[in-house]
Amino acid sequence: MVSGVERYFQLARCYRDEDLRADRQPEFTQVDIEMSFIEREDIYALIEGLLKRVWKTALNMDIPTPFKRISFEEALNRWGIDKPDTRFGMELVDFTEDFRGSKFGVFGNCVAGGGVVKAMNAKGLAGATQGQIETMTEYAKSFGAKGLAFIKVENGEWKSPIVKFFNEAEKAALTEKLGIEQGDLILFAADQWLNACEILGKIRLYCAEVLKTQGKLVVDPTRFDFLWVIEFPLLGFDREMNRWYSSHHPFTAPVAEDIPFLKTDPKKVRGQHYDIVVNGVELGGGSIRIHQADVQKTIFEELLQISPEETQSRFGYMLEAFKYGAPPHGGIALGFDRLCAILCGTTSIRDVIAFPKTAKGTCMMTSSPSAVTSRQLRDLHIEVKAAKKEA
């Protein structure tokens, strides 16, 4: 776009070193779209029109547009994840103010320390087995929590060792906000905001799978809930490294009105990036790019702490090009394999890839990767060194 190409799209073959899950492969295909002189609204309209036509052509289904738009903060607050499956309930509810000063120390101390208390109602799951509760607890511990607080509503009473610490106002708030009934399982997370949301977000999806197997939660397989997740924070903060990092990538444009906060309050800055989500699956994502040299330099050097010398060495060509008047530009990439898998009604992209890799990253068709000769390494100027064993 900076060199003068106004728009393009490509079917790009991608290679990534990442965990192999049902919807991921080390080798996959993207529909990559980039355009000049556009805004986010142009991207939304284009992709909605594209997906509407694809669903009509492939499934003879009319999907309503425009798609719902949900901010990153709302997605985490309500569903605990930035790619929410909105086809079923069990939404997260905030109880921070209700438990401020609570006699239950875990909640009261968390709120006093700037954290939040959130809860969700897994309706009909009071009969969860010990193994299922342990699985949920492990999810909580994977985010740094010490355990998982819960209440089982059985035989007309709340069964939990934490209930004795609740006063009547706290119990009333839980009953009203969560619609507690016989047979419900109430799950809590008390932590810093992001952690609390993500803990319950992970548990929410697990509970949904358990309820589906029990026939207590029915999700229409022919229903497609499309939505945009927008207004992500431009930056995140790494406490261990004591520095900011890009939540999307360092070339993402900040929302125009937030640019003054880059130097005064970076956490307030929203990025112009967006994800397209359907039924809890991220179909693709993209952003509007920075096209001003001064803004890009500020992010590199003042926020990401890249030295001026490294900035010039790695990105000097781009900053120089920006000085000549780069156009506003942006784009999006859709996961082609994921798109095909959803249209075919399968959860694994291996089912729609001709020669998928195994869990070890090998190709059964070509038996690759295979051993290489010293001559091949020489031709590619690759030197192999044995790793030193630690004492």
pLDDT higher than 80, residue 46 = yes
Comparing C-alpha atoms, which of 263, 264, 235, 239 is closest to residue 250?
235
Banded pLDDT at 252 (limits 50, 70, 90): very high
Q: What's the pLDDT at 27?
A: 84
Q: What's the pLDDT at 276?
A: 98
Mean pLDDT of the chain: 93
Q: What's the pLDDT at 360?
A: 77
Banded pLDDT at 389 (limits 50, 70, 90): low
pLDDT higher than 90, residue 78 = yes
pLDDT (average), residues 309-315: 94
Half-sphere exposure in the Cβ direction for 68 (13 Å, CA):
16
Q: What's the pLDDT at 238?
A: 86
Comparing C-alpha atoms, which of 176, 194, 11, 208 is closest to residue 90?
208
For residue 355, the tally of other CB atoms under 10 A from its CB is 10
Banded pLDDT at 150 (limits 50, 70, 90): very high
What six digits make up the tokens of 107? 């909640």
- Report the share of the chain in percent with pLDDT over 70: 97
101: left (phi > 0), else alpha (psi -120 to 50), else beta?
left
pLDDT tens per residue, range 325-353: 899 999 999 999 999 999 999 988 889 98
What six digits make up the tokens of 349? 């992209």
pLDDT (average), residues 174-197: 96
360 vs 324 pLDDT, higher one: 324
Banded pLDDT at 20 (limits 50, 70, 90): low
What residue type is 208 in one-letter code?
Answer: A
What are the angstrom distances between the C-alpha of 123 and each of 158, 312, 325?
A: 14, 57, 57
Q: What's the pLDDT at 270?
A: 96
Q: What's the pLDDT at 19?
A: 64
Banded pLDDT at 23 (limits 50, 70, 90): low
What residue type is 194 in one-letter code?
Answer: L
Q: What's the pLDDT at 144?
A: 86
pLDDT (average), residues 284-306: 95
Q: What's the pLDDT at 24?
A: 73
pLDDT tens per residue, range 356-388: 888 777 888 888 888 889 999 999 999 988 777
Domains of the chain: 88-213 (3.30.1360.30)
Question: Can you tell me whether residue 333 is helix, strand or coil?
Answer: strand
